[in-house]
Structure 1
Amino acid sequence: MTQTPGTRSWWGWGTQEQALGVQEAEALVARLAGLLPDADLTVHAPPALRPESLPAVRITPPPSLAPLSSTDTHDRAGHTHGKAFRDIVRNLRGDLAHAPDLVVRPGTERDVVDVLDWASSENVAVIPYGGGTSVVGGVEARFDGGYAGALSLDVTAMDRVLEIDRTSRAARIQAGVLGPHLEEQLRPYDLTLRHFPQSFAFSTLGGWLATRAGGHFATLYTHIDDLTESLRVVSPYGVGESRRLPGSGAGPSPDRMFLGSEGALGVITEAWMRLQDRPRWRAGTSVRFADWDAAVAATRAVAQSGLHPSNCRLLDAAEAFLSTGASVGGGVLVLGFESADHPVDAALERAVALCRDHGGSLSEGSARGTSSERDASASAWRSSFLRMPYQRDALVQRSVIAETFETATTWDGFPALHAAVAAAATAAIRDVCGIGVLTCRFTHVYPDGPAPYYGIYAPGAWDGLLGQWDEIKTAVSQAIVDHGGTITHHHAVSRDHRPFYDQQRPEPFAAALSAAKAALDPAGILNPGVLV
């Protein structure tokens, strides 16, 4: 298995080697200190891990599964939480109360069947685990039910591209493959899955499928759903595999039932995925706006133009400043185009023209049309995009509440939702922190609406961080649901979003989902507490 070089951090994002250095951290803190004066930025280091840091192991695997199982302290600690703000805070405090008893790494689908058979018979909860990058409590053994124990089913040993259909541009891929290793295996065929979430380096195909992940590209094929041809899933009921088809009208889609099921209905072991030829032509720029409403209107025009940019990411003034250091009145729209078949200069020129119709202007000296000459703001954004999780960790260590909300809504509904979120966040931040900053960017755009992604930065009290964050999250989440947005566009439901997902989904569907859970997982061992 190929991983991003370095030592995975058990308490924070990514690898220890890629964490913020002293100079980068100081620059980040300096920018934020100007917005959050009087914040206590004392650094809190992660605790040393010892066996007594974790609860005692309650279960013993059978001899047949013992070679696949680990009770190593760092292994269990690293599989205890995901990578959300709440997770980082608890890790920094040494709160590992929900550590799994075992980390089990199946090497084959037969191993997965054997694990589920044993767990069902012994009342052991099974939490499917890919890269562990969930930010909504999806991989945590936090649930009720009187289970004998819990195991983290780490599928990353199942990481191969098993078959490639070059004619149809598709591949049969094991679910445990990490993003970089997947692309390495496709590159000799000049093919790509072209799915690059922010967590790409540390997340798996199975995780993308189980959470209906969104990729980096802002239009057209935005979700992993769009790239899925068929799935193979193991549940306590049995093994199921859907037929490979470009499309089908034969009843409800079996793939749709498992996409986004978060391991509650079965363990995805393989998938046939639709591939694309690797891009040869690229072009990009960024457009500045003096007015936010005009920037939104321009973004809508581009989204409805049929140009299908690969990047169409709108940053409001606060987001642009924190991410790239750019000072603008209304916002910055980062545009990018790419193609494996033809030059894309004309598409970029047309998108820029649409932006100019709404008062947009290009940065002085910005370059468009070649991959070697990119606008400085666009390049700064891409770099910042990949560094954001590491920056978040550095801020959390300094008692800064730094976390995000993401949603989607229609264009006509966006103004009211945006105003409601801003009001709810501002009031909650004022009540629990005194001051703070709210930012907004569009991560994805569709002809009928945007996917706004909100960031919150506020000075917290080290001893009260979790309570402060929970108050803010509850207020904003309720505002999103009350004003017609989805509780999640691409971060999944899991345990943290369950109360709001229950409000969003139709009641007949909830009943059908519960019935499916009972049929596929009679003992209720699969990821208890998510979805149903």
Structure 2
Amino acid sequence: MSEQRAHNFWGWGYADRFPDLDTRRGLGEQVGALLGAGPLVPRDPPARDAITLPAPRIAPPSPLAHLGSAAPHDRITHTHGRGYRDILRGFRGDFASAPDWVAYPATEQDIEALLAWCSQARITVVPFGGGTSVVGGVEPRRGPSSEGVISLDLRRLDRVLDVDPLSRAARIQAGARGPAIEAQLAPHGLTLRHYPQSFEFSTLGGWIATRAGGHFATLHTHIDDFVSSIRMLTPAGVYATPRLPASGAGPSPDRLALGSEGILGVITEAWLRVQARPRYRASASVSFPAFAEGAAAARAIAQAGLYPANCRLIDRTEMLLNGVPSDGDAVLLLGFESSDHPLGPWIDRALALAAEHGGRCPEGPRLRDDGARGAAAAASTYRESFFQAPYLQTALVSLGVIADTFETACTWDRFEALHAAVQAAAREAGAGALACRFTHVYPDGPAPYYTFLAAAPPGEEIERWTAIRNAATDALAAAGGTITHHHAVGRLHRPWYDRERPDPFALALRAAKRALDPQGILNPGVLIDV
């Protein structure tokens, strides 16, 4: 299936957003200077026509053939996610692990028929979502006794099916991407306001399956907080949870589907709690002489019950990478929003708390009450860079630069030691630049998010990348951080996830897998082994 605007088949986003040669040369000079490696020379990406694929090992029965495709374009574009390793393999023209067939079901009946065929024929099914996984969650790997693998793409299930304005809820199909969800809610004066960095291309089903983090830095930090009920099709039958504002009736069935990463079933739709579109906004940028002082201010604000929508602390390297101006070593980007009331007292109290920890905000807060988006200058610059970052990573891969991220969450009492250990481990393993920001903050701890850059000789990128990631991940796990706050487990984080979860929980998860997916066809190797 094709779309009007061509996607980059090996890298992030739209093909026409990949920078031209002169732009990449200029970027190579800047990043080379940052890494002390001299000007970096751009390399040419592969031509799609030059990609060779293995022959498909399976073919659907004739009643299902109309639901999918084995065309090279479809198989190529469903081979990799969009993590660093994925983009590098794509840039090298390596699509040897392409799925045998790509399915595009239009109804739940289509999905049920596909699951029945694959269970009977021992064919692996990998739910694809928007294909934006950065942890290997959509890799089309076969199970140990599988005859082949299909990639299941729900892009045809992309509608808002029902809106309940009284309860402020909407029933939305799982294949809907972020922009489509917002466009369909807008006529009702409603919004979900869940904006992961992959917002433009990721899907509701993917958000739920990976417990994606979104727009809000406090209170409603994950998609979990918006889910009212979930409908999921499993090889054993329909898994549908009741729509309720809250319940104390035993373990939550929604919690089993949230974060299940495609191993238990295919999420087809969900009821989501939505909101009135914000009218009032308040924002400010606060500079600190040191990152530790900014962290103390973020903690005070998180513990004050103010619930800012944005409370993003960024260090000097992060500012440099994103062009954010500041006269300190850290800047805290604050933002509040409401559909109901002006926010002056909230931003004033947050700034007072920041000032108690050495924060300076010479320009003062910016207030709006007209519904229009608006923010302090530094916040506006950072927001734009935030959504452009995946495009930058794709360009850096073409320059031979290792560029990747990892993230965690820990309690406040552990953060200082974790931060120092992660920085030391990553730099010792070869990171040439390391940046940190808080994406979310809680009363009991922050969610630090790290970006690292490194130079590597051609052909040695994967080895250097693996060394840096493993060293940093070992350090954060040893210091008491979670393996992931919002990037999911996939295959990349699997070794550390196995150590983080309780052993009895692993037994329970395996039992659920056996009950819902008796033939083990769904996304084998993710979360657990069968």
Secondary structure of the 2:366 match is: coil
* Correspondence for 2:64: 65
Residues in 2 aligned to 1:52 and 1:28: alpha-carbon distance in whole angstroms: 27
* Correspondence for 2:381: 380
Residues in 2 aligned to 1:174 and 1:505: alpha-carbon distance in whole angstroms: 31
* Correspondence for 2:34: 35
* Correspondence for 2:517: 521
Output the amino acid matched with 2:63. S
Distance apart, 1:295 and its partner CA: 0.9
* Correspondence for 2:527: 531
* Correspondence for 2:486: 490
Equivalent residue in structure 2 for 1:477, among 463, 467, 473: 473
* Correspondence for 2:275: 276
Pick closer, same or farther for the CA change 1:275–1:110 going to 2, 3 Å: same
**Structure 1 residues 131-140 or 48-57, which shifts more?**
48-57
CA offset digits 1:197-233 (Å, max 9, x no partner) = 1101100000000000000221110100000000111
Output the amino acid matched with 1:10. F
**Structure 1 residues 253-262 or 37-46, which shifts more?**
37-46
Equivalent residue in structure 2 for 1:512, among 499, 508, 516: 508
CA offset digits 1:443-477 (Å, max 9, x no partner) = 00111100000010111222111111111111111
Output the amino acid matched with 1:65. L
* Correspondence for 1:96: 95
Distance apart, 1:75 and its partner CA: 1.2
Corresponding pairs, count: 525
Pick closer, same or farther for the CA change 1:143–1:499 going to 2, 3 Å: farther
The answer to whether the Cα contact below 8 Å between 2:125 and 2:151 also exists between their aligned partners in 1 is yes
Secondary structure of the 1:233 match is: strand
* Correspondence for 1:123: 122
The answer to whether the Cα contact below 8 Å between 2:177 and 2:202 also exists between their aligned partners in 1 is yes
Output the amino acid matched with 2:488. A
Secondary structure of the 2:345 match is: helix
* Correspondence for 1:407: 408
The answer to whether the Cα contact below 8 Å between 1:44 and 1:92 also exists between their aligned partners in 2 is no
User: Unaligned stretches of 5+ in structure 2?
Assistant: none
Pick closer, same or farther for the CA change 1:26–1:441 going to 2, 3 Å: farther
Secondary structure of the 1:413 match is: helix
Output the amino acid matched with 2:99. P
Equivalent residue runs for 1:11-410 within 5 Å: 11-20=10-19, 25=24, 28-39=27-38, 41-50=40-49, 53-326=52-325, 328-362=327-361, 364-365=362-363, 368-370=366-368, 374-410=375-411
Secondary structure of the 1:106 match is: coil
* Correspondence for 1:432: none
* Correspondence for 2:457: 461
Residues in 2 aligned to 1:42 and 1:231: alpha-carbon distance in whole angstroms: 49
The answer to whether the Cα contact below 8 Å between 2:25 and 2:41 also exists between their aligned partners in 1 is no
The answer to whether the Cα contact below 8 Å between 1:367 and 1:373 also exists between their aligned partners in 2 is no
Distance apart, 1:40 and its partner CA: 6.0
Distance apart, 1:117 and its partner CA: 0.3
CA offset digits 1:49-83 (Å, max 9, x no partner) = 24861111110101111011111112111100000
Output the amino acid matched with 1:277. A
Pick closer, same or farther for the CA change 1:23–1:47 going to 2, 3 Å: closer
CA offset digits 1:332-362 (Å, max 9, x no partner) = 1111111000111221121111111111112
Distance apart, 1:29 and its partner CA: 3.9
The answer to whether the Cα contact below 8 Å between 1:25 and 1:391 also exists between their aligned partners in 2 is no
The sequence identity of aligned pairs, in percent, is: 55
The answer to whether the Cα contact below 8 Å between 2:30 and 2:39 also exists between their aligned partners in 1 is no
Distance apart, 1:376 and its partner CA: 1.8
Pick closer, same or farther for the CA change 1:463–1:304 going to 2, 3 Å: same
Secondary structure of the 2:459 match is: helix
**Structure 1 residues 115-124 or 319-328, which shifts more?**
319-328
The answer to whether the Cα contact below 8 Å between 1:237 and 1:521 also exists between their aligned partners in 2 is yes
Residues in 2 aligned to 1:528 and 1:323: alpha-carbon distance in whole angstroms: 38
Secondary structure of the 1:361 match is: coil
The answer to whether the Cα contact below 8 Å between 1:338 and 1:344 also exists between their aligned partners in 2 is yes
Output the amino acid matched with 1:278. R
Distance apart, 1:419 and its partner CA: 1.1
The answer to whether the Cα contact below 8 Å between 2:29 and 2:39 also exists between their aligned partners in 1 is no
Residues in 2 aligned to 1:415 and 1:143: alpha-carbon distance in whole angstroms: 42
CA offset digits 1:273-319 (Å, max 9, x no partner) = 11111101112121111112111101111111111111110001111
Pick closer, same or farther for the CA change 1:169–1:23 going to 2, 3 Å: farther
Equivalent residue in structure 2 for 1:439, among 431, 435, 439: 435
Residues in 2 aligned to 1:158 and 1:455: alpha-carbon distance in whole angstroms: 34
Output the amino acid matched with 1:88. I
Residues in 2 aligned to 1:13 and 1:281: alpha-carbon distance in whole angstroms: 34
**Structure 1 residues 394-403 or 142-151, which shifts more?**
142-151
CA offset digits 1:154-177 (Å, max 9, x no partner) = 011001111111111111111000
Residues in 2 aligned to 1:113 and 1:373: alpha-carbon distance in whole angstroms: 46
Distance apart, 1:45 and its partner CA: 2.1
Residues in 1 aligned to 2:373 and 2:58: alpha-carbon distance in whole angstroms: 56
TM-score, normalized by length of structure 2?
0.96
TM-score, normalized by length of structure 1?
0.95
Residues in 2 aligned to 1:2 and 1:75: alpha-carbon distance in whole angstroms: 8
The answer to whether the Cα contact below 8 Å between 1:404 and 1:454 also exists between their aligned partners in 2 is yes
CA offset digits 1:249-280 (Å, max 9, x no partner) = 11111110010000000000010111111101
Residues in 1 aligned to 2:364 and 2:97: alpha-carbon distance in whole angstroms: 50
Residues in 2 aligned to 1:317 and 1:28: alpha-carbon distance in whole angstroms: 19
Residues in 2 aligned to 1:309 and 1:367: alpha-carbon distance in whole angstroms: 13
User: Unaligned stretches of 5+ in structure 1?
Assistant: 430-434
* Correspondence for 2:423: 422
The answer to whether the Cα contact below 8 Å between 1:40 and 1:399 also exists between their aligned partners in 2 is no
Residues in 2 aligned to 1:437 and 1:152: alpha-carbon distance in whole angstroms: 36
Residues in 2 aligned to 1:51 and 1:186: alpha-carbon distance in whole angstroms: 42
Q: Pairwise CA RMSD of aligned residues?
A: 1.8
Residues in 1 aligned to 2:50 and 2:124: alpha-carbon distance in whole angstroms: 22
Distance apart, 1:396 and its partner CA: 1.0
CA offset digits 1:97-121 (Å, max 9, x no partner) = 1100011000000111000000011
CA offset digits 1:412-457 (Å, max 9, x no partner) = 111111111111101111xxxxx60111000001111000000101
The answer to whether the Cα contact below 8 Å between 1:178 and 1:200 also exists between their aligned partners in 2 is yes
Distance apart, 1:393 and its partner CA: 0.7
CA offset digits 1:133-188 (Å, max 9, x no partner) = 00000110235513111000001100111111111111111100011011111111
